[in-house]
Amino acid sequence: MTQNLDFKRNTAVGLDLGWVNSIKVNRNAADRRAASLANRRTVKKEYQAAWLIRAVQCMDLTTLGGDDTPGRVERLCMKAMRPLRADLMQALGLESLTTGAVCVYHEMITPAVKILQGRLPIAAVSTAFPAGLSSLETKIREIELSVAAGATEIDIVITRQHVLTGNWQALYDEMVAYRQACGEAHVKAILATGDLVTLDNVAKASWVCMMAGADFIKTSTGKEGVNATIPVSLVMTRAIREYYEQTGFQVGYKPAGGVSTAKSALQYLTVMKEELGNDWLQPHLFRIGASSLMTDIERQLEHYVTGAYSAAHRHAQP
């Protein structure tokens, strides 16, 4: 997997309230575009296999359950380093394959570090995930502790009330503080789009977080009633594209929550390719937050290789 050697990490560019307040999203147009993507015929055969392998490379393999244990996280990490069986790897002509990262709670960073030993990024959810309702001081300290424990990426949650009340300065200041606390660790800003009510709010929150230096913008915690959707993804990726055109900074995108089938993963890959281009189809600019998705991708790849589907329970679960 090669990355763009000219890649420049996003930095805070200052809050332009005039621009943010002028943002309007055409909901009907977004829905029509989303429907056209959903109804399109997907890629088949060797092309589908290649796209599914790319989905694996761009996956944040995730466990965020209240019943997580060190043993479960260790299994997750082993799966992340070897997501496909050796026979499938050989049949597909792959010498090596890993997911983009693993994503865990703070308390599970240590067992992840023990297994991965720097071979894959460790993303930790932070800032009072998933609701984000604790003091700023507490959330900043949580980030600092996760980075010290070995997390190389921090998935923060924004304070939704700042969006819902239109307090863009407060959201910007919060995001700047999170970015500073992360230091060299990259920060993904979770917008919790299912809580933001309108696509206008999604677009504005995307812009404010990017202006404040977010490395990625991410749809959801996976805990909201509505998580990643194609219309929301269109709004967020188009914000990323226009931000790049205005600033020269490439910001990554991460749909999360409900992306559980190979078919849905292909839809998000299509959005990235058509809205942002091939440069964004790399793990440093695209991630899929998922837990059960790996099982369906492995089943689809096995069908491509053997011509038969196996039961989901035959595939290793983290």
- Catalytic site residues? 155, 218, 254
How many whole angstroms separate alpha carbon 154 and alpha carbon 105? 10
How many whole angstroms separate alpha carbon 27 and alpha carbon 111? 44
DSSP state of 13: -
How many whole angstroms separate alpha carbon 155 and alpha carbon 103? 9
Neighbours of 69 (CB within 10 A): 12
How many whole angstroms separate alpha carbon 27 and alpha carbon 261? 26
Q: What is the DSSP string of 160-172?
A: HHHHHTT-HHHHH
Which whole-number Å values give the CA distances from 127 to 149, 200, 252, 257, 311, in the listed order? Answer: 15, 24, 20, 18, 38
Residue ranges of the alpha helices (H) in 224-292?
A: 230-247, 262-275
* One-letter amino acid for residue 132 of the chain: G
Spatial contact of 300 and 262, defined as CB atoms under 8 Å apart: yes
Find how far residue 229's CA is from the centre of its chain: 13
Place of tokens 């959810």: 125
Query: For residue 211, what are the contacts with CB-CB under 8 A and spacing of at least 6?
Result: 12, 13, 14, 15, 16, 172, 243
Q: Render the burial of 216-233: b for 16+ CB within 10 Å, e for the rest.
A: bbbbbbbebeebbbbbbb
How many whole angstroms separate alpha carbon 22 and alpha carbon 25? 10
